Amino acid sequence: MHALNALDYVVFLIYFLIVAGYGIWIYNRKKKVNGGSKDYFLAEGSLTWWAIGASLIASNISAEQFIGMSGAGFKMGLAIASYEWMAAATLVIVAVFFMPVYLKNKIYTMPQFLQQRYNGTVAMIMAVFWLLLYVVVNLTSILYLGALAISSLSGNDLTVCMYGLAIFAVVITLGGMKVIGYTDIIQVFFLILGGLVTTYLALNMVSVKFGTAGAFNGFGLMMSHAGDHFHMILKRDNPNYLDLPGLTVLIGGLWIANLNYWGCNQYITQRALGADLPTARAGILFAAFLKLLMPVIVVLPGIAAYVLYQNGEFSTQLLQNGEVNPDKAYSVLLNFLPTGLKGLAFAALTAAVVASLAGKANSIATIFTLDIYKKKINPDADENRIVNVGKITVVVAMLIAIFIAPLMGIDKKGGFQYIQEYTGFVSPGVFAMFIMGFFWKKTTSSAALFATIGGFIFSLFLKFLPTHADLSGLASIGFSKATAAGVYEIPFLDRMGIVFGLCVVGMVIISLFENMRGVKTNGLEINTSMFRVSNSFLVGSLIIGGILAALYGAFW
């Protein structure tokens, strides 16, 4: 039954009142101490390590994980968990090497870093690009996929769900980063609790299907009945190899995607940029531990749905236009939850979507207000004017997302694939520009522009190369695989690694040539002592590394 009953709505209302009430309380406390625009956009100095970690996860986990990754779990199995588990390792690297550079050089936005390290032209180009990417791709996809899932679960109209999510997110966002950061703690609580309940019941459904009971029995039955769905490293003959090409998830392009997302992304780094280094590192480490848990919540339910489908369940619920749509797996499972728990799952899904919308909207407002409005439109704007412009930007961005989301074809591509496809065309060049800017003082502004524009061109070239050239010769070394149409394509993550390498080589050549001509560069303040970590951080990092080694060893 695709509807919520009275008890489900009561559970959801309790969640809503807790989040809204806590947000209002934080906002009223914040008003007593007006810290200006940096306090509004960054919550400067006021977020604790646990608030930073929770906010990172709340902003990251959204409908594309609950719906898209569960669908990928249905289709390809546990291998898709590499996006989550390798992110845990990536967060440790970001905490050790990226955050000290940002905080030491007093960098609050990514365009500010580019202006400080390169020049205003590079910064403005990327500020405009990030605004377009965040509004047209990220904000719209989060809003649309979230509304689609909630509509499927509650039976309410899709447009009504979109407006409801947008209004909820705007109310939180208008309170500033401090309100977002602390309400995210509650959002993460509901997200994890509701997600774990859904996973437990999905595993129990598997065990009941085969005449036993209990979630642990269900997990064992899933491994025995869908053993092919419990391999982390896919072989070349796997039909999903183009999505996750073997060892690339450990030593290749997935690092580019993760390091760019977690280390060079205003939407994410903003949570830690208002803190001191020990607090920022502790928060990021906390987020890394939470990341280890995410596949249990977003991948295992998809595999459970696959096992149930293979054994006669959901024979019609998963169909769309006569074909099985894996992205419907999570919503189908939720509709089998008992009364009350369905409301909890509804709250968890709403928490994930609203937290991501609020975080993304705040980042959009931060970049537009601090990097475009303040610098180019009204340099003399006072603090109150800047904050008000930020609030207006939040509302405008959300309205744009509402109007264009149904026109983007997001549901046809699959949510997770939609975001990865469009951000992946620029991630290698952007990451090359950042990493070279961090650690090689000779890198020039022209080289940065080359990486930005050239990386995008290289990505397009490799994407469409198979339609004009036979790449079957690369199959023997794992760098191409035939599609269903018989065309040999380079796997997406491998393309990212290749483009990143080309960008770095091009940047080195351009920079060395310009250095010989006497072109000056703006190096950052960096010394080796910045990268030293506390003993507690080191122990936590080693524990994460050990858990990851055990997981990949067990499910290789």
Confidence at residue 535, expressed as pLDDT on a 0 to 100 scale = 94
The number of distinct structural domains making up the chain is 2
Confidence at residue 500, expressed as pLDDT on a 0 to 100 scale = 94
> Is residue 303 in some structural domain?
yes
Confidence at residue 511, expressed as pLDDT on a 0 to 100 scale = 94
In order of 50, 238, 494, the CA distances from 482 in angstroms are 46, 11, 15
Same domain, 483 and 535: no
Same domain, 213 and 320: yes
Average pLDDT over residues 344-355: 79
Same domain, 135 and 263: yes
526 phi/psi in degrees, rounded to 5: -140, 135
488 phi/psi in degrees, rounded to 5: -85, 115
* 10-24, 97-111, 213-227, 390-404: range with lowest mean pLDDT: 10-24
pLDDT level of residue 417 (50, 70, 90 thresholds)? low
> Is residue 11 in some structural domain?
no
| Chain segment 73-114, per-residue pLDDT in tens | 998 999 999 999 999 999 999 999 999 988 888 888 788 888
| Chain segment 432-489, per-residue pLDDT in tens | 999 999 888 899 999 999 998 898 899 888 887 777 666 665 655 556 565 655 667 7
Residue written as token pair 């749905």: 305
Asked whether the predicted pLDDT for residue 259 surpasses 90, the reply is yes
> Is residue 101 in some structural domain?
yes
User: CA 424 to CA 453: how far, in whole Å?
Assistant: 14
The string over 145-157, giving b where at least 16 C-beta atoms fall within 10 Å of a residue's C-beta and e elsewhere, is bbbbbbbbbbebe
Same domain, 379 and 446: no
| Chain segment 303-319, per-residue pLDDT in tens | 999 999 888 887 777 77
Same domain, 514 and 549: no
> What string of DSSP letters covers 444-498?
-HHHHHIIIIIHHHHHHHHHHGGGTS--GGGGGGTS-EE-TTS-EE--HHHHHHH
* 35-39, 186-190, 508-512: range with lowest mean pLDDT: 35-39
> Is residue 16 in some structural domain?
no
Per the prediction, the chain carries an average pLDDT of 83
> What string of DSSP letters covers 191-248?
HHHHHHHHHHHHHHHHHHHTT--SHHHHHHHHHHH-GGGS-SS--TTSTTTTTS-TTH
User: CA 288 to CA 272: how far, in whole Å?
Assistant: 14
| Chain segment 497-535, per-residue pLDDT in tens | 999 999 999 999 999 999 999 888 887 788 888 889 999
Average pLDDT over residues 226-253: 86
> Is residue 184 in some structural domain?
yes
367: tokens are: 């970049």
Same domain, 504 and 532: no
Residue written as token pair 């009971």: 213
Asked whether the predicted pLDDT for residue 429 surpasses 60, the reply is yes
Same domain, 293 and 317: yes
Confidence at residue 539, expressed as pLDDT on a 0 to 100 scale = 96
pLDDT level of residue 207 (50, 70, 90 thresholds)? very high
User: CA 185 to CA 428: how far, in whole Å?
Assistant: 32
Same domain, 84 and 176: yes
182 phi/psi in degrees, rounded to 5: -80, -35
> Is residue 21 in some structural domain?
no
Same domain, 235 and 143: yes
Same domain, 167 and 208: yes
> Is residue 98 in some structural domain?
yes
CB 37 within 8 A of CB 383: yes
pLDDT level of residue 42 (50, 70, 90 thresholds)? low
State the residue range of the domain holding 446: 425-525
**Which CATH number belongs to the domain containing residue 149 in this structure?**
1.20.1730.10
Which residue has better confidence, 326 or 433? 433
Same domain, 342 and 462: no
- Helix (H/G/I), strand (E/B), else coil: 20: helix
> Is residue 31 in some structural domain?
no
Same domain, 353 and 387: yes
For Cα atoms 318, 324, 330, give the angle at the middle one, nearest 5 degrees. Answer: 40
Confidence at residue 184, expressed as pLDDT on a 0 to 100 scale = 72
- DSSP 8-class letter at 529: G
Confidence at residue 444, expressed as pLDDT on a 0 to 100 scale = 93
- Helix (H/G/I), strand (E/B), else coil: 154: helix
Confidence at residue 1, expressed as pLDDT on a 0 to 100 scale = 47
Average pLDDT over residues 188-209: 86
How many CB atoms are located within 10 Å of the residue 468 CB? 7
pLDDT level of residue 389 (50, 70, 90 thresholds)? confident
The string over 340-360, giving b where at least 16 C-beta atoms fall within 10 Å of a residue's C-beta and e elsewhere, is ebbbbbbbbbbbbbbbbbbbb
